[in-house]
Amino acid sequence: MEEKLLEIKNLRVRFVTERATADALNGVNLTIRKGESLGLVGESGAGKTTTALASLKLLPRGGQMLDGEIYFKGKDVMRMSKRELLDMRGHRISMIFQNPLTSLNPVFTVGEQIGMVLRQHKGLNKKQADEEAMRLLETVGIAGYRLNDYPNQFSGGMRQRVGIAAGIACNPELLIADEPTTALDVTIQAQILELMKRLQKEYSTSLLMITHNLGIISELCEKVAVMYAGRIIEYGTVREVFSDPRHPYTRGLLGALPKLEGDRDRLTAIPGTVANAQHLPEGCRFHPRCEHCTEECKKQQPEMVQVKEEHFVECFRGGKFDG
């Protein structure tokens, strides 16, 4: 087994606002190994972004970590010194954000926004950073001379390329991509995915791909973790999970996708609505929407069980539903 790069244990995060208290993460366990690419999938509000930001110790205002541990290469992130923390952010782990329209600072040139990482972590001076930033822009398919342009002079897709260029600038060990294509047009999405695929091969970094798009996962990832109401409810290789989904929620997600080949089954939607983080149900958080729900499911939180060598599911019935 490869070395563990990022290990999250029993992570619980709560957001307290004036209006309400929301339990965003309720015991997340997740491991990413070196060289691995993991897809984290789930509906909006499932806690995907919160998991990513917590790993960088960057929870937004109002977010409290109630419990759990996060290790990066065996080091406790919460106990890291300031220097270690800064070195981890942007250098060892870098993050690409969901909305390229809001994640680039409008009053700095794209060159500056790529260059600041290089100056911070590689110790480059202004000129060297500019040269390197120019090379990175070319790598992601933007003409280098646009270094001194401002984000507003780029389209959404181009801006996301800039975000990616900044993300790969220091050749990080782990790249977290938080729905990097969600805010973009479909055609642009495909281009960005192509780019990420190419870079993944060239740079051989580990990847944590956050998305609600199952297609992206099957294209880019080996492993997949399915998230629901702040917990990972199914985990395994993409091949395993997609061909033999065990959790009723995962089944629902896959059933909601149209098939292009083979028999055209009727599309199935998951009944009910996403669990409300302010009023989470007791027991298994999915039970109100589950057609196989039992009394046990209503009372107790199921444990993660291994169903195959590389396939785990958090369900009392281990994903066996006969009849």
Partner 1 sequence: MYFRYILRRLGQTVIVLFFISILAFALIRIAPGNPARMMLPDTATEEQVHAKEMEMGLDKPLYIQYIKYIGGVLRGDLGTSASYQTSVGSIIADRFPATLLLTAATILVSLLISIPIGIIAGIRQGSMVDFLAMLFALIGQSMSTVWLAVMMIYIFSVKLNLLPALGMGGIKYLILPAITLGYPLAAQVTRMGRSGMIDVLREDYITATLAKGIPESRVYTKYAFKNALIPIVTVVGLQVGYFLGGAVVVETIFSWSGVGQLANQAVGNRDYALVQSLLLVIAAGFALVNLIVDLINAKIDPRITLE
Partner 2 sequence: MERKLIFKRMVKSKFFMTGFLVAVFVVIISILSPLLANFDPTANALVDRLKSPGIAGHILGTDQLGRDIFSRLLMGSRYSLLIALVVVSLAAVIGTFLGLVSGYFGGRTDTLIMRISEIFLSIPQLILAIAIMAMLGTSVFNLVMVLVITSWTQYCKLARNNVLVQKNMDFVHASQVMGAGNMHIMLTQIFPNITTPLLITISQQFGMIIMVEASLSFLGLGIQQPTPSWGNMIADGRTYLTTAPWMVIAPGVALMITVLAFNFLGDGLRDVFDPKRT
Residues of the shown chain interacting with partner 2 in the complex, contacts defined by CB under 8 A = 17-19, 61-62
Residue 153 interacting entry, from partner 2, partner 1, none, C-beta within 5 to 8 Å by type: partner 1
Q: Which is nearer to partner 1, 93 or 199 (CB)?
A: 93
**Distances in whole angstroms, Cα of residue 28 to Cα of each of 178, 218, 242, 249:** 17, 22, 21, 17
Q: Which is nearer to partner 1, 101 or 293 (CB)?
A: 101
Q: Which is nearer to partner 2, 15 or 249 (CB)?
A: 15
Task: Please say whether the beta carbons of 230 and 25 come within 8 A.
Answer: yes
Q: Which is nearer to partner 2, 10 or 17 (CB)?
A: 17
- Taking CB atoms within 8 Å and a gap of at least 24, the contacts of 55-60 are 55/6, 55/8, 55/93, 55/176, 56/88, 56/89, 56/93, 56/95, 56/176, 57/85, 58/89, 59/13
Residue 121 interacting entry, from partner 2, partner 1, none, C-beta within 5 to 8 Å by type: partner 1
Our finding on whether 117 is near partner 1 (CB under 8 A) is yes
**Which strands make up the sheet holding 206-211, listed edge to edge?**
93-96, 174-178, 206-211, 37-41, 223-228, 231-237, 311-314, 304-308
Q: Which is nearer to partner 1, 90 or 252 (CB)?
A: 90
Residue 178: CB minimum distance to partner 1, A: 10
Residue 17 interacting entry, from partner 2, partner 1, none, C-beta within 5 to 8 Å by type: partner 2
**Residue for token pair 């060598």:** 309
Orientation angle between helical segments 156-168 and 126-139, nearest 10 degrees: 120
Our finding on whether 91 is near partner 1 (CB under 8 A) is yes
Our finding on whether 116 is near partner 1 (CB under 8 A) is yes
Residue 19 interacting entry, from partner 2, partner 1, none, C-beta within 5 to 8 Å by type: partner 2
Our finding on whether 120 is near partner 1 (CB under 8 A) is yes
Pairing of strands 311-314, 174-178: unpaired
Residue 18 interacting entry, from partner 1, partner 2, none, C-beta within 5 to 8 Å by type: partner 2
Helix locations, 213-269, DSSP H? 214-220, 238-243, 248-255
Residue 262 interacting entry, from partner 2, partner 1, none, C-beta within 5 to 8 Å by type: none
- Rounded to an integer, what distance in angstroms lies between the CA atom of residue 190 and that of residue 207? 18
**Site residues for partner 1 per CB under 8 A:** 53, 56, 58, 60-61, 82, 85-91, 94-95, 97, 99, 102-108, 116-117, 120-121, 150, 152-153, 163, 166
